[in-house]
Amino acid sequence: MPTLVQPALPEPRGPISLSVVELLAERAQLRYVTRVETSLGDADPAGLDLQLALYLCYELHYRGFADVDAGWEWNPGLLYLRGRLEDLFLQDVRREVGEIEPDASALDELDKLCIEPVDGAGPSYFLRDEGTWEQMREYFAHRSLYHLKEGDPHAWAIPRLTGQAKASFVAVEFDEFGGGKGARLHQQLFADLMAAAGLDTTYLGYLADATAESLAVVNLMSMFGLHRRLRGSAVGHFAATEVTSPPGSRRMVQALERLGAPEECCAFYREHIVADAVHEQVVRTDVVGDLVAREPDLDRDVVFGIRAFDAVENRLADHLMACWRAGVPSLRRALN
Ligand SMILES: [Fe+2]
Ligand SMILES: [Fe+2]
């Protein structure tokens, strides 16, 4: 059986995603420059409809969708709509992050991120201490939107970097991409985890079940990666991902061991305790340190990337905790 490479288009979730889904069903005309106009006046930038529409636009740059004309990727009319969605999303995240102090620095920000609260709250603490196997499986389904394309959204930043920052960024990405071995791609390790947990391993298999919060987590990295003007924030986001990974992964291993989960599930997070402990040092000194020494003007953008990562992750964490505390499923549809 050949592997299913391209996902199917999901059902729309409102007028904005409907306009994108309807358009993608048509044949893309390369000279079709008519702006795709959709009313965004009262759109919720953090809501499911807008986040899904944005996700669909971005996915055209990754694997695209089955039976969708690949020509839509660079269609100016659709890019115009994507730009409007991005403006709303970025404004919303900037509002959440707030003012960045004039003396803020990326390296200080990373140091702050390294200090873990002893009495932390949030999904990995909850799963470690009291979460059920069903909640763990929901967590995997939410995270599958990212982990099945792990490494890809940040890779857009590579051509925008130079010197040591670029060399070290690529060295970390090389590990994310399995160090030359297809079976060791972190994307593949996560597919192995999904299979062991009895979940669908298909790329974007849970797109229709995901909530706005989990779509926003991936949309943020796609947005940072796809805009050169946001490259400082892409690097900040990448650094924050690596720095926060080892302690979070350690809690996930503890949670999975407590639940007696299959070895493939533990293996994915164990890999991230070991590899990301090294990555953490490399991104701090050789990626972020070198980038801000080379381009000091990007320092505050890196800070924004780190704080934006935190803001969207917190929204997802709040959603998961609110559902789990109330004893209701956190996905839009309960898992089988
Ligand atoms: Fe990874
Ligand atoms: Fe890593």
pLDDT tens figures, 277-330: 889 989 999 999 999 999 999 999 999 999 999 999 999 999 999 999 999 999
Whether the pLDDT of residue 154 is over 70: the answer is yes
60 and 164 housed in the same domain: no
User: Quick one: pLDDT at residue 117?
Assistant: 72
Please answer whether residues 303 and 104 qualify as being in contact, where contact means their C-beta atoms are separated by less than 8 angstroms.
yes
Structure tokens at 163: 């010197």
| Ligand with smallest separation from the Cα of 187 | 1
Write the CB contacts of 320 (distance below 8 Å, at least 6 apart in sequence): 123, 126, 138, 139, 142, 330
Write the CB contacts of 316 (distance below 8 Å, at least 6 apart in sequence): 142, 213, 214, 216, 217
Please answer whether residues 184 and 267 qualify as being in contact, where contact means their C-beta atoms are separated by less than 8 angstroms.
no
191 and 248 housed in the same domain: yes
- Measured in Å, residue 224 CA sits from the centre of ligand 1 at 18
| Ligand with smallest separation from the Cα of 279 | 2
- Measured in Å, residue 231 CA sits from the centre of ligand 1 at 20
- Measured in Å, residue 244 CA sits from the centre of ligand 2 at 10
Domains identified in the chain, total number? 2
Task: Compute the distance between CA of residue 38 and CA of residue 35 in angstroms, rounded to an integer.
Answer: 9
Q: What range does the domain containing 22 cover?
A: 15-97
In this prediction, residues 153-164 reach a mean pLDDT of: 98
Work out whether the CA dihedral 140, 142, 143, 146 comes out positive or negative.
Answer: positive
Write the CB contacts of 266 (distance below 8 Å, at least 6 apart in sequence): 253, 256, 257
| Ligand with smallest separation from the Cα of 151 | 1
In this prediction, residues 182-204 reach a mean pLDDT of: 97
pTM: 0.96
Q: Is position 332 within any domain?
A: no
Q: How high does pLDDT run on average in the chain?
A: 94
In this prediction, residues 108-134 reach a mean pLDDT of: 90
Which of 71, 97, 123 is the last residue before a domain boundary?
Answer: 97
| Ligand with smallest separation from the Cα of 149 | 1
- Measured in Å, residue 76 CA sits from the centre of ligand 1 at 34
Which of 97, 132, 162 is the last residue before a domain boundary?
Answer: 97
- Measured in Å, residue 34 CA sits from the centre of ligand 1 at 40
Which of 97, 126, 151 is the last residue before a domain boundary?
Answer: 97
Whether the pLDDT of residue 30 is over 70: the answer is no
| Ligand with smallest separation from the Cα of 185 | 1
Please answer whether residues 150 and 176 qualify as being in contact, where contact means their C-beta atoms are separated by less than 8 angstroms.
yes
Q: Is position 217 within any domain?
A: yes
- Measured in Å, residue 175 CA sits from the centre of ligand 1 at 7
Task: Compute the distance between CA of residue 49 and CA of residue 152 in angstroms, rounded to an integer.
Answer: 24
93 and 206 housed in the same domain: no
Work out whether the CA dihedral 229, 235, 240, 242 comes out positive or negative.
Answer: positive
